Structure 1
Amino acid sequence: MSNSKKFIEEFGPIQLDVLKEIGNIGSGHAATSLSKLLQKKIEMNVPGVEVVDFDQVMDLAGGADKEVVSIFQRMEGEAPGSMFFLMPPFQAHHFVELMTNASEGFDNDAGMAVSALQELGNILSGAYLTALCDFTELDLQSTVPSISQDMVGAILSMGLVELSQVSDAAIVIKTSLTDRDGGEGGFLEGHFFLFPDPPSYQKIFSSLGVNEGD
């Protein structure tokens, strides 16, 4: 049995509460940054945080055939890993319109749109990593975001195939941002997936009070 599988089995309510708190603190930081950037009141909440096996990852993202916009970044430092923020295309379009005051929405070839989503990625990853660093006392940074639009399966499969050789767990933070001036509902909902590299699982999980055990 892999170490990550042991960690999933040993991950209990206390550790999940810590992850939820990391998500809540990170979302608060992100909402503050987005409010300043967009010059409007943005509220952000984390409806759920889970540690799941790879079989559940694509289901949580809506299924392998669902089209999404992806913001991908590497997590570097003492516990390297990969981060994805996935959202429906229409919500990415709406966010780009808010950022650029333009009506064309997201286009892979549109420089302003890509820059807008890169800025969103930097804000989200920076907020969550800051909170994670505070709890774990690990030194972590993120790379420049990469933006793409494709099916969930195409975006995630390459990374999952590689990681599944040696591990089987992902940390998932469901994220919802609400534009308080924008009328009904949240203007952006998505999933923030953190895939620690195999050697990083023990560092992160142990720092949250999960020991490898026998």
Structure 2
Amino acid sequence: MSYLDSITHLQLDTLKEIGNIGAGNAATALSLLVNKPVMMSVPSVKIATFDETMELAGGADNVVASVYMRIEGDITGNMYFILSLSQATRFINQMTGSNQISFDHSLDDEISLSALTEMGNILSGSYLSSLSDFTGMKIYPSVPVLGIDMVGALLGYGLLEFSQVGDYAIIIDTDFTASDNKEEKDVNGHFFLLPDPESFDTLFSTLGVNME
């Protein structure tokens, strides 16, 4: 029996609700950081295959901005928050109030890179904290690492390890904006949660999935 056959809408809805709680906490933290309203939500959560995961991020050769964390504790694995370069540019401009920053031309801008790393740190940390609170598991994120590279290069190691249990990843879609302008478009990103082989069973067993 595959994970796709066993995981129900109830478990996915639970992960979505955990994501929305984490998004709310992250929005509060980011609002205080940038001193402007930040709105955030998780419109969907899905289980994706290797190919689908790559395609969601624009394909293996697509260059993106990624904030990576290693997960340790009762479950272990890898977590990525990925934005297209245009979406990363939009969010950093919203956070800094500048219209001059572009990740196509300013990859060495320390303020931009620091802001993007901190944003990923707050978002990922808030989601993992909500997951920990809901499941009662102890989950510890590592120091975040920012990478700007091709999707295949960024995800390769995590997905290679994860493929031992069926080539699936948990994809958490996220919509957010850091602007008090109601006409400002949302930024759209993806969390890719890649539990280590033994941790995938542990995670979903706490959500009521029997893999036997």
Q: TM-score, normalised by structure 1?
A: 0.89
1:203, distance to aligned residue in structure 2 (A) = 1.0
Name the count of aligned residue pairs: 209
Q: What is the rounded CA distance, in whole Å, between the counterparts of 1:164 and 1:58 in structure 2?
A: 13
Partner of 1:191: 190
The DSSP-based 3-state class of the residue aligned with 2:61 is: coil
**Partner in structure 2 of residue 25 of structure 1:** 21
TM-score calculated relative to the size of structure 2 = 0.89
CA shift, 1:182, in A, is 3.3
**Paired residue for 2:42?**
46
Are positions 1:174 and 2:170 aligned together? no
Q: Which runs of 5 or more structure 2 residues have no equivalent in the other structure?
A: none
1:183 Cα deviation (Å)?
4.7
* Counterpart for residue 110 of structure 1: 109
Q: Could you say what secondary structure the match of 2:42 adopts?
A: strand
Q: Secondary structure at the match of 1:195?
A: strand
Matches within 5 A, 1:1-214: 6-101=2-97, 103-106=100-103, 107-213=106-212
C-alpha change, 1:75 and 1:186, in structure 2 (3 Å) is farther
Query: Do 1:179 and 1:186's aligned partners in 2 also have CA atoms closer than 8 Å?
Result: no
**Secondary structure at 1:186 match in 2:** coil
Distance in 1, Cα, partners of 2:34 & 2:146: 20
Please list the CA deviations of residues 11-43 of structure 1 after superposition, one character each: whole Å capped at 9, or x if unmatched: 011111111111111111111111111111111
Worse-matched range after superposition: 11-20 or 155-164: 155-164
Residues 91 and 187 in structure 1, CA contact (< 8 A), matched pair in contact too: no
Higher alpha-carbon deviation: 170-179 or 62-71:
62-71
Deviates more, 1:157-166 or 1:100-109: 100-109
- After superposition, the Cα gap between the structure-2 partners of 1:121 and 1:179, relative to the gap in structure 1 and judged at 3 Å, is closer
Contact 2:57-2:84 within 8 A present in 1 as well: no
1:7–1:211: 8 Å Cα contact kept in structure 2?
no
The answer to whether the 8 Å contact 1:71/1:84 transfers is yes
- Same amino acid, percent of matched pairs: 48
Once the two structures are overlaid, the 10-residue window that deviates more, 54-63 or 27-36, is 54-63
Q: Deviations over 1:80-123 (max 9, x none)?
A: 11011111112222333344455334444333222212211111
State the AA in 2 paired with 1:123: I
Shift in Å, 1:156: 1.6
* Contact 1:69–1:89 (CA under 8 A) maintained in structure 2: yes
Supply the distance in 2 between the matched residues of 1:94 and 1:13 (Cα, whole angstroms).
33
RMSD over aligned CA atoms reads 1.9
Check conservation: 1:75, 1:141, Cα contact below 8 A: yes
Contact residue 91 and residue 177 of structure 2 kept, 8 A: no
